[in-house]
Structure 1
Amino acid sequence: MSESITVQQLTAEWITPEIFKPYGQVISASTDGKTYDETDAQLNLKNGVPRFYIMRLHKRGRQFNKITRHIECTQCLGSLEGKEWLMAVAPPSEGNEPDVNKLKAFRIPGNCFIKLEVGTWHAGPYFDDEQIDFYNLELSNTNIVDHFSYDFIKSKNLQFEIVI
């Protein structure tokens, strides 16, 4: 007989550069001609060929049981058309398991993007719209050779739901 799955709610808070810092960066618009500084995305794409593409995602909802990390590169994500979206993250960790006690969910407005630090665990993007296009910057082979996932159902009979 299998154990029942527990659904744990994560309340999404509005993202700010300060509260997102353990996971990466929030990148917002700046004036044209601004000199490069620490407010620009601090990218690590040295381990392969960068890939910038637009991914089309269909009605993702707000529930998840798997979380992923990339240990070879940073990753940047942002929605097109100014649409709000949700992301769950946990800070980089030793070993093959995220710290569930440090798992947080964020509401991300459509006027910025996020840069995930190398090793940041992430689940998403999530949203209620029928479809949202996202721009994505990572390595060309990230999803083949640098895609490490953790399944909360298999390990803890746990699923998450992001609430706002």
Structure 2
Amino acid sequence: MAPAKSLHQLTAQLITPENFQPYGQVIAASTDGKAYDHTDAQLVLNNGIPRFYIMRLHRRGRKFHTITRHLQCTQCLGSLAGKEWLLAVAPPSSAPQPEIDKIAAFRIPGDRFIKLEVGTWHAGPYFEHEFVDFYNLELSDTNINDHDTYNFRQQANLEWEIV
């Protein structure tokens, strides 16, 4: 008989540039004509053909058991129509799995987007809406050739819930 899986709860904190810094950047609106600086998304898209698209996701809930990273590029995500969403992350690492004690969850208002650093582990987007359209900037083959996923359920009999 398999042991019961453990459910860990993550409290989502409101995202800020400071608390999200270990994982990437938070990008908010700026004045038109502002000069490029460190507050703009610092992108790594030179390892292939960039792909910018809108993905529609349907009700995702708040539970997950897998987490993914991309080692060839940064990734930008943001919701359309101002809808709030949730994301779980762990800092980039050279290990084949994320550091469990460093996993954090964030509540992301619909008026900003995030840029994930190369190698940042991420699970989501999650939300309670019927559906949310997200813009996504990554490489054209990210989901084929640069999709390293760790399965907590298989490896540690563990699931997560963002609260």
**TM-score w.r.t. length of structure 1:** 0.99
SS in 1 for 2:11: strand
SS in 1 for 2:19: helix
Measured in 2, the distance between the counterparts of 1:35 and 1:144 equals: 35
Q: CA deviation at 1:3?
A: 1.3
1:115-155 Cα offsets, whole Å, 9 max, x none, are 00000000000000010000000000000000000000111
Structure 1 residue aligned with 2:19: 19
Corresponding position: 1:52 with 2:55 = no
Measured in 1, the distance between the counterparts of 2:79 and 2:138 equals: 15
SS in 2 for 1:55: strand
Q: Which amino acid counterpart does residue 42 of structure 2 have in structure 1?
A: Q
Q: CA deviation at 1:53?
A: 0.1
Measured in 2, the distance between the counterparts of 1:19 and 1:162 equals: 17
Structure 1 residue aligned with 2:161: 161
Measured in 2, the distance between the counterparts of 1:55 and 1:33 equals: 29
Show the 5 A alignment for 1:96-111: 96-111=96-111
Q: Which amino acid counterpart does residue 119 of structure 1 have in structure 2?
A: G
Show the 5 A alignment for 1:1-164: 1-163=1-163
Q: 4+ runs of 1 displaced by more than 2 Å?
A: none
RMSD of Structure 2 on Structure 1 (CA)? 0.4
Q: Which amino acid counterpart does residue 113 of structure 2 have in structure 1?
A: F
Q: CA deviation at 1:25?
A: 0.1
Specify every segment of 5 or more residues in structure 1 that has no aligned partner in the other structure, as ranges: none
Q: Size of the alignment, in residue pairs?
A: 163
1:29-87 Cα offsets, whole Å, 9 max, x none, are 00001000000000000000000000000000000000000000000000000000000
Q: CA deviation at 1:2?
A: 1.1
Q: CA deviation at 1:161?
A: 0.3
Q: CA deviation at 1:94?
A: 1.6
Measured in 2, the distance between the counterparts of 1:143 and 1:15 equals: 26
SS in 1 for 2:155: helix
